[in-house]
Chain A
């Protein structure tokens, strides 16, 4: 079905989550997402569970949504993403629902709630705005972050870096990593799911012999920049931000291909309450204004089609992240056991 026909069918069936027809017409445009100007105002009470973890810019987005929608009474409960996911599941087991919407900073926690059958199915036009590979029926990725290989330009050329993450086990490069860091553990989880337990354990053991550990991934990237290590494993935004603060930094950014080394993880949002309000709230986060804001200010990767990535990052469709249902990253316990068993943690 063509996209235009599809939207027409949605409008006829009246299942587009309360969007006015003018907005549906705008959704038909393939370019750069829906504008906030085309969305209906948000009115009523809404309770958001917001996973803490980013540097405050989600709060700016929420404040802007509230300012634009004076009849919206937004209650926010903040906490670590995993703890909020647990709370939602526990509340449901107790027969109560306090959260109308859950915005998680990583997709792993999303899986816990969707698997419990607590998330509503999203209207198809919401998912259709997202890039291929990031369309899910019961939750929506908001923005993404990609695993990268920051490397020191004075010590290496990009051609000297393996494009296979597993090949780092045999390389003689000096590597920086942050095993205690949550994003690194999600990356190892992806490797475990894609390559298997034994291969992942062997990789961890081999890399550990040449790796220097850091507490966080900004520390990894700074060590690469100083030349203390040749290459690191880190989320993309640390390199972009360090370059922004230190334009002379001799930092390159490389990617592996089709493996856990270039995993794209995402923050995710889901509606738990019936009705249009929670769905339309999600639409606000997928507008081109919010997506562009998070790209330019937080260096996050927009996951709505047609929105430019943050400066310094190639378009997502030129990178080849692995095919992996991100909600499977919730399966963290075996990862931690594995990392402890090989002495990495």
Chain B
């Protein structure tokens, strides 16, 4: 059992968590519950839920092993996941892992529905379990930061970014949610987030960006309006969609540096 995978260790996760939390006005589809602002008090509950989920999935896979796909109802996998508070905790803390959990759930479901050999089903089960434990690790770390007052409260209203640099952070966060929703097999919702993010956020900063690097903006224009929507509409794998998003996030980091430098050099109003 791997409670805190090696890839979660180190500064990158800390930065990711703080960034994800600091720029996260978007909320889950359903009620989130106040527990997400008191993570430390609920770590035990989340741990129990992860253990229960792992057990439920294992029971289903074992039933499949014993009786084939007719012996199980794979639609219950999503219900197990949606039924736990841990779901909202990870969705509000670290969307990339949230996406991996959905990806894992559907991979297990797909392997069973397709009647794949047990080795393949177990492989997908292991990946799902890893994502679930990875998420728990992220929540535990976020709880520590929350206790130290380093994370802002989950907002119940959309306050929105106020500077171009904040806007770029929010765009990156929303792109994570595109992957999450795509992994959740909600393609229309994923496309809607892409469209809204472009029109309501990127469109507001690209004017300033194009003064700094026109080619970079053209690249991102294409990513937002062609590459990413097309990969979703074409039914590309979650990993392929994630690769597009990761590449876009890299470009957005370049944009952030450019806009910060431009802002530092901007003349005073008075």
Residue numbers of A with Cβ under 8 A of B are 36, 52-56, 59-61, 64-65, 68, 78-79, 180-181, 214-216, 218-219, 222, 237-238, 241-242, 244-246, 249, 289-290, 293, 296-297, 299
- Are A64 and B269 closer than 8 Å at their CB atoms? yes
- Are A241 and B211 closer than 8 Å at their CB atoms? yes
Shortest beta-carbon distance from B195 to chain A in Å = 7
- Are B270 and A68 closer than 8 Å at their CB atoms? yes
Check if B6 is an interface residue, CB within 8 A of chain A.
Answer: no
Total of A-B residue pairs, C-beta within 8 Å: 87
- Are A245 and B213 closer than 8 Å at their CB atoms? yes
> In the bound complex, what is the Cα–Cα distance between A61 and B267 (angstroms)?
11
Contact residues in A for B198 (Cβ distance below 8 Å): 215-216
> In the bound complex, what is the Cα–Cα distance between A78 and B160 (angstroms)?
8
Residue of A nearest to B208 (CB): A55
Shortest beta-carbon distance from A84 to chain B in Å = 12
Contact residues in A for B208 (Cβ distance below 8 Å): 55-56, 241
Check if B199 is an interface residue, CB within 8 A of chain A.
Answer: yes
Residue of A nearest to B262 (CB): A297
Shortest beta-carbon distance from B2 to chain A in Å = 43
- Are A290 and B269 closer than 8 Å at their CB atoms? yes
- Are B211 and A218 closer than 8 Å at their CB atoms? no
- Are A218 and B206 closer than 8 Å at their CB atoms? yes
- Are A238 and B199 closer than 8 Å at their CB atoms? no
The 6 sampled A-B contact pairs (Cβ below 8 Å) are: A54-B204, A55-B205, A218-B203, A246-B214, A249-B214, A289-B269
Shortest beta-carbon distance from B12 to chain A in Å = 27
Contact residues in A for B270 (Cβ distance below 8 Å): 36, 64, 68, 289
> In the bound complex, what is the Cα–Cα distance between A218 and B204 (angstroms)?
10
Residue of B nearest to A61 (CB): B269
* Residue from B159, B163, B199, B211 within 8 A of A215 (CB atoms): B199
> In the bound complex, what is the Cα–Cα distance between A199 and B225 (angstroms)?
31
- Are A293 and B267 closer than 8 Å at their CB atoms? yes
> In the bound complex, what is the Cα–Cα distance between A290 and B205 (angstroms)?
20
Check if B207 is an interface residue, CB within 8 A of chain A.
Answer: yes
Contact residues in B for A55 (Cβ distance below 8 Å): 164, 167, 204-205, 207-208
Check if B221 is an interface residue, CB within 8 A of chain A.
Answer: yes
Residue of B nearest to A235 (CB): B207
Shortest beta-carbon distance from A183 to chain B in Å = 11
Check if B266 is an interface residue, CB within 8 A of chain A.
Answer: yes
* Residue from A54, A218, A290 within 8 A of B221 (CB atoms): A218
A218-B210 CB under 8 A given contacts A55-B164, A79-B160: yes
Shortest beta-carbon distance from A239 to chain B in Å = 10
* Residue from A54, A78, A218 within 8 A of B217 (CB atoms): A218
> In the bound complex, what is the Cα–Cα distance between A36 and B204 (angstroms)?
28
Check if B224 is an interface residue, CB within 8 A of chain A.
Answer: yes
